[in-house]
């Protein structure tokens, strides 16, 4: 599990507890306090704080309601279970035979709860900066997808990003037009600070610009990941 997380624990008992389901504790006659519920409680609070802090500064134009909606679409059982599956969390859970036979390792609620417990364990074993980095690393795709949903189009999303991160507004240039007048195809490039970040084509200038902006966003995301 440490390899999957990319984190080495000083106190491995914390990680073990974060991975221990109540069904396993019951079958093994363990103390009920040795299961993940308390760590889940802590991890839930940490996750909400990290995501809230990130989107608060990332989207300065969002009001309280918009921020709450954005967070709710990121911090929910379905998303947490998806992230947990992405790091292979299910196979490492200490689980009773009954729970396992009924599909416990793939159950959304268990995966989500266990993921939050792991966050709590990381926080206690390391510190807030480590758990913050881990959360944002594993949520970056969801944040990106949710960003696009919140905005009306790729052009708006690109402009919001470049203004905040680069202090610049994207510029669109038509590089070529082809085809008959009634079936015109437009080719567009989008530049930020003089650098071409995306290209697109479409049967209207608007569609071509949207596709160029989409490619530019993907380019910026790859650069950010690198």
98 - beta bridge partners? Answer: none
Active-site residue among 31, 37, 40, 116? 116
Is 150 a catalytic site residue? Answer: no
User: Contact at 8 Å (CB) between 46 and 123?
Assistant: yes
Is 44 a catalytic site residue? Answer: yes
Rounded Cα gap, residues 29 and 31, in angstroms:
7
User: Contact at 8 Å (CB) between 126 and 53?
Assistant: no
Active-site residue among 27, 31, 40, 44? 44
Residues forming the active site? 44, 116
């Amino acid at each position: 599990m440490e390899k999957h997380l990319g984190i080495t624990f000083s106190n491995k008992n914390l990680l073990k507890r974060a991975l221990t389901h109540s069904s396993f504790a019951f079958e093994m006659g363990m103390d009920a306090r040795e299961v993940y519920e308390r760590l889940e409680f802590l991890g839930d609070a940490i996750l909400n704080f990290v995501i809230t802090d990130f989107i608060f500064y990332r989207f300065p134009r969002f009001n309280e309601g918009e921020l709450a909606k954005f967070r709710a679409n990121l911090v929910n059982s379905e998303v947490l279970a998806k992230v947990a599956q992405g790091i292979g969390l299910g196979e490492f859970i200490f689980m009773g035979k009954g729970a396992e036979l009924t599909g416990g390792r793939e159950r959304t609620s268990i995966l989500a709860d266990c993921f939050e417990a792991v966050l709590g364990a990381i926080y206690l074993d390391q510190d807030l900066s480590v758990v913050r980095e881990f959360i944002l690393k594993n949520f970056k795709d969801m944040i990106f997808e949710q960003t696009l949903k919140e905005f009306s189009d790729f052009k708006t999303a690109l402009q919001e990003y470049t203004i905040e991160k680069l202090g610049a507004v994207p510029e669109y240039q038509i590089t070529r037009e082809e085809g008959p007048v009634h079936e015109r195809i437009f080719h567009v490039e989008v530049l930020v600070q003089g650098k071409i970040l995306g290209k697109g084509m479409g049967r209207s200038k608007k569609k071509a610009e949207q596709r160029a902006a989409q490619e530019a966003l993907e380019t910026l995301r790859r650069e950010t990941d690198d």
